[in-house]
Structure 1
Amino acid sequence: MARDIVRSTGRAVAGPALGRFIAPAVLGPALRGWVVGGLVIEAEQRRLFPWLAVAFGAGILVFFTATDGMPALWAPLAAAAACAATLPFLGGRPVALAIALGLAAALLGFSASALRVSRVAAPVLTRTMIAPLEGLIESLEEREEGARLVVRVASLGTMSAAERPVRVRVSFKKAPPLRPGDFIAATARLLPPPEAARPGGYDFARDAYFRGIGAVGSLLRKIAVKPPPEPVPWSLRLAAAVDDARNALTRRITDAN
């Protein structure tokens, strides 16, 4: 057995190398024994693999709760590689192996979060504005009065491409029949995506950030459908066609009832 627990002193020891990985000054004897004993049991019963997902998720949680700004991606990746490099030398030390695997998985989760955030980074509107909007309808949600749609912005007032949002979510009450894939021109009233109304509540601004939506609002006055100024990429055409088919199916189900 790899476990050697001495209960009479209230401490747990799991091999002579344990003290080099968990310092007595960091964890009390009882807590240290509980942690080490659990790690040894998991290693003996070959149940360490499911804990990698937990460690990966913990790394993601740390990124979104403890970071301020965008950290350098190379730092957590280098640390994860360093932990992984020690694994071949820890075959006979189950506790040290578990700790190294957990740290590597947590650092990879942190790195995956940083990579995802950097890939979806896009401008977000910082003030309320009313301006001419032109763009392609990517998706359209039909409602009892009007509809709500996501528009991929081609132009927004006098804003440059580096300043304007990539997508905006707008609603309208009265307009000509619109479909996903239409290129529209209208006047829009836009404002920044709203944040959570209370601590721990739904944060629409965060959800919008990962969807590339940099502003929300409504369309004013007349909405014109016009040919796009340049060919639409096939990926956008396919996504628009799928959303159009979804709306058609929804209408058929509603009419049947």
Structure 2
Amino acid sequence: MVIIADCGSTKSDWLLVHGGRDQQLENTQGFNPFFQSSSDIENILKTQLVPKVTTNAVEQIWFYGTGIHDSSRAEIVASALRNIFPKAAIEVEHDLLAAARATCKRSAGIACILGTGSNSCYYDGSKILDNVPSLGWLIGDEGSGTHLGKALLRAWYYRELPADLNAAFVADYPEGASAIKNRIYDKGANAYLASFTQFLGKNIQHPLIQKMVMNSFNEFLDRHVGKYSGYQQVPVHFVGSIAYHFQDILLACLDARNLHAGEILRKPIYSLAEYHVGPMGTSE
């Protein structure tokens, strides 16, 4: 048995592949080695994953996660996995490489993440050659859920929403301005801000909402994708819920720049399984 894992800060997907063919998807709480220790991670897996897996039968684990920015962070996760899966060969990598492998496969391309946060890289078919820094939700994350949430809230607080949208917003968020502001400056603000994309999706036919989403995507393309050498000659791929749910606008933004749109995946996990195990079950 092999396991492919895609781990975010709040949720993780674990795809168990039996005999190179049969697939079983399990979910656990997410984790980030920037904020959690190896023992914390081990405890999460022992309670949420181990009851669903025959640990001694696992031969290989490919783990991709948020926060894996260097070898020390990778070792935090690898140590927890080794303690639980003693017979498995373990590879721990950043989630940006997951996006690249899932979309580009073994060809050159630009891989982007547009989810709660955003990131991008230029991938040559085997490794990441360039990465415009992601500055996080406070001053960066263009094109992401947090970026869009901030744009919507600014428009609402500054009384820039037309009457119909304002009425819809108040109906959906009756807690009011003070309560929303308190949540913005509380723990977990990035996920809270990103949650407002539900309102954007519900009202996506409104011209102002379309413009808001388009502006955010254009800023991402300008600040990130457009900085890579040869960006107009290779496909631009996307992974993440924001890219997936707003793909019509995203594709229009790419087309306006004469960029080659590649794959747009909500989740990378099944494409990662194809990358590692192959569609016919041949392990690589």
**Does TM-score exceed 0.5, indicating one fold?**
no
State the TM-score, normalized to the length of structure 1.
0.22
- Higher RCO (CA < 8 A, seq sep 6+): 2
Structure number with larger C-alpha Rg: 1
TM-score, with structure 2 as normaliser: 0.20
